[in-house]
């Protein structure tokens, strides 16, 4: 772009709520681009008006190229850099080619109305996204702001909270924040009375667990019964240790090879919204189960590849960490995982059988790393008394790939 793109955030209060500099940018523009709602909020300045096509993203490069050389002003809703078109334009043309004039975001306006601290409030957007990523945020006494995708979103949020044992949660519906038609309505999730709200709304949630509701924290080590499985599951205690060795870092990618129920990949992704994972599973029925578990536990973005490793690993994005929960004895599997792993990445292999332990011991002798043997015992009835019942011991080999 030969001319910087101006990006102006507009609130529900329209022209009256804009700063003098924002009004000046709009008034000097030759081309005004934006959604129909944003364009209708500003007066006619003589500029050519371009309404975003649907879908917008594929058409955006050609649209900008068509008006290259002209003074373009893009109108956005609220803060353009908060789930907005400003971030899209920064990726597309570069941050140095845009000038952003933000308006208070719906999150800032909502917290101002509620008296909530912005930095202590969780935020999830349903605009063009699934609702399941809200699940890990649902914790006792936490506050969540949900950016709705339309008038049906508040009722769906209430229903999902109730289904997950948080029907006692207090919901506040904030419609048309900052505009002349602003309205606030309150009720519990269980007794939510609004079937359809104004399309422009935010839902504030104060999470309150019903009696007996199991807490599912984001710390690795969820109860085994949180997962649907057929026995092919990395057990809770072993899973917690395994994830500590894999060391999830926001933005990094995990390969879960031999995913089984997908528990390791799912818990990796639950640690932070930016964590990504690919589960590789040879059995289609188990792959379907991984997808169901991922959705139920709030990480529907988990990618599942159906196929046998190492062949199924070809062409996958390069990982920052790899977990091999089964199949260590498969020829070429560990070699393929190590070759694909980024420098500084972590490989964790769990071995249960004598044969897989022998393979892991050989790799440890050749490459070093960390070798750990876990033995877990759980209390269980022994007649009228209580004794210890041992699980099968698990050998865990961890190797960090050299960065040189």
Q: What are phi and psi for residue 5, nearest 5 degrees?
A: -95, 125
- Looking at the fold, whether 93 and 120 belong to one and the same domain comes out as no
- Please give the pLDDT value at position 404: 63
Which of 85, 103, 121 is the endpoint of a domain?
A: 103
- Looking at the fold, whether 228 and 295 belong to one and the same domain comes out as yes
CA angle 185, 191, 192 (to 5 degrees): 40
* 165 domain residue, yes or no: yes
DSSP structural state of residue 184: E
Which residues lie closer than 8 Å to 65 by C-beta, 6 or more apart? none
Which tokens belong to 277?
Answer: 């994972």
Tell me how far apart the 2 most distant CA atoms of the chain are, in Å: 88
- Looking at the fold, whether 88 and 129 belong to one and the same domain comes out as no
- Looking at the fold, whether 229 and 357 belong to one and the same domain comes out as yes
Structural contact between residues 325 and 353, judged by C-beta atoms closer than 8 angstroms: no
- Looking at the fold, whether 111 and 99 belong to one and the same domain comes out as no
Residue with tokens 């944003």: 38
- Please give the pLDDT value at position 207: 98
- Looking at the fold, whether 96 and 128 belong to one and the same domain comes out as no
- Looking at the fold, whether 247 and 348 belong to one and the same domain comes out as yes
* 391 domain residue, yes or no: yes
Count how many domains the chain has.
Answer: 3
Question: Could you read off the pLDDT tens digit of each residue along the chain, which spans 404 residues?
Answer: 678 999 999 999 999 999 999 999 999 999 999 999 999 999 999 999 999 998 899 999 999 999 999 999 999 999 999 989 999 999 999 999 999 999 999 999 999 999 999 999 999 999 989 999 999 999 999 999 999 999 999 999 999 999 999 999 999 999 999 988 999 999 999 999 999 999 999 999 999 999 999 999 999 999 999 999 998 899 999 999 999 999 999 999 999 999 999 999 999 999 999 999 999 999 999 999 999 999 999 999 999 999 999 999 999 999 999 999 988 999 999 999 999 999 999 999 999 999 999 999 999 999 999 999 999 999 999 999 999 999 999 999 999 999 86
Give every strand in the sheet of 98-101, ordered side by side: 48-51, 31-34, 72-77, 5-10, 98-101
The CATH number that applies at residue 287 is 3.40.50.150
Which of 73, 103, 133 is the endpoint of a domain?
A: 103
* 218 domain residue, yes or no: no
Domain span including residue 318: 224-400
How far apart CA 333 and CA 339 sit, in angstroms, is 10
* 71 domain residue, yes or no: yes
- Looking at the fold, whether 159 and 83 belong to one and the same domain comes out as no
Residue with tokens 């289904």: 163
113: nearest Cα among 199, 176, 195, 28 = 176
How far apart CA 374 and CA 47 sit, in angstroms, is 70
DSSP per-residue string spanning 159-178 = HHHHHTT-TT-EEEEEESTT
- Please give the pLDDT value at position 326: 85
- Please give the pLDDT value at position 403: 81
3-state secondary structure of 274: coil
Could you tell me the CA-to-CA distances from 95 to 25, 26, 91, 297 in Å, in that order?
18, 20, 7, 35
- Looking at the fold, whether 189 and 257 belong to one and the same domain comes out as no
- Looking at the fold, whether 65 and 162 belong to one and the same domain comes out as no
Which tokens belong to 195?
Answer: 């079937």
Which of 40, 68, 103 is the endpoint of a domain?
A: 103
* 287 domain residue, yes or no: yes
- Looking at the fold, whether 20 and 120 belong to one and the same domain comes out as no
**Per DSSP, what are the bridge partners of residue 145?**
123, 204
How far apart CA 317 and CA 322 sit, in angstroms, is 12
How far apart CA 43 and CA 50 sit, in angstroms, is 14
- Looking at the fold, whether 83 and 114 belong to one and the same domain comes out as no
DSSP structural state of residue 402: P
* 194 domain residue, yes or no: yes
């Amino acid at each position: 772009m030969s001319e910087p793109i101006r990006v102006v955030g507009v609130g529900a209060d329209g022209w009256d709520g804009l700063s003098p500099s924002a009004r000046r940018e709009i008034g000097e523009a030759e081309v005004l681009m934006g959604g129909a709602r944003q364009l209708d909020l500003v007066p006619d300045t003589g500029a050519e008006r371009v309404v975003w096509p649907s879908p917008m993203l594929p058409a955006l490069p050609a649209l900008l190229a068509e008006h290259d050389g002209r003074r373009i002003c893009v109108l956005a809703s609220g803060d353009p850099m908060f789930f907005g078109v400003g971030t899209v334009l920064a990726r597309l043309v570069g941050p140095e080619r845009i000038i952003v004039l933000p308006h208070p975001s719906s999150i800032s306006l909502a917290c101002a109305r509620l008296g909530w601290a912005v930095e202590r409030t969780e935020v999830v957007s349903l605009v063009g996204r699934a609702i399941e990523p809200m699940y890990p945020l649902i914790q006792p006494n936490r506050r969540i702001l949900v950016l709705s995708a339309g008038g049906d979103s508040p009722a769906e949020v209430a229903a999902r909270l109730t289904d997950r044992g948080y029907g006692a949660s207090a919901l506040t519906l904030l419609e048309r924040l900052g505009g002349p038609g602003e309205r606030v309505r309150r009720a519990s999730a269980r007794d939510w009375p609004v079937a359809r709200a104004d399309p422009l709304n935010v839902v504030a949630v104060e999470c309150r667990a019903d009696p007996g509701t199991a807490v599912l924290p984001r710390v690795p080590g969820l109860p085994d019964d949180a997962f649907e499985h057929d026995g092919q599951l990395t057990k809770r205690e072993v899973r917690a240790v395994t994830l500590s060795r894999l060391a999830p870092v926001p933005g990094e990618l995990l390969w879960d090879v031999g995913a089984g129920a997908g528990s390791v990949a799912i818990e990796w992704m639950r640690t932070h919204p930016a964590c990504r994972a690919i589960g590789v599973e040879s059995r289609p029925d188990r792959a379907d189960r991984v997808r169901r578990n991922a959705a139920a536990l709030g990480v529907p973005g988990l990618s599942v590849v159906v196929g046998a490793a190492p062949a199924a690993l070809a062409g996958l994005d390069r990982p920052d960490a790899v977990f091999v929960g089964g199949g260590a004895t498969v020829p070429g599997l560990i070699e393929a995982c190590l070759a694909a792993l980024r420098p500084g990445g972590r490989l964790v292999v769990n071995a249960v059988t004598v044969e897989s332990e022998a393979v892991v011991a050989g790799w440890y002798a050749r490459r070093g790393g960390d070798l750990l043997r876990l033995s877990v015992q759980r209390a269980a009835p022994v007649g009228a008394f209580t004794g210890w019942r041992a699980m099968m011991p698990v050998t865990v080999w961890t190797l960090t790939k050299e960065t040189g």
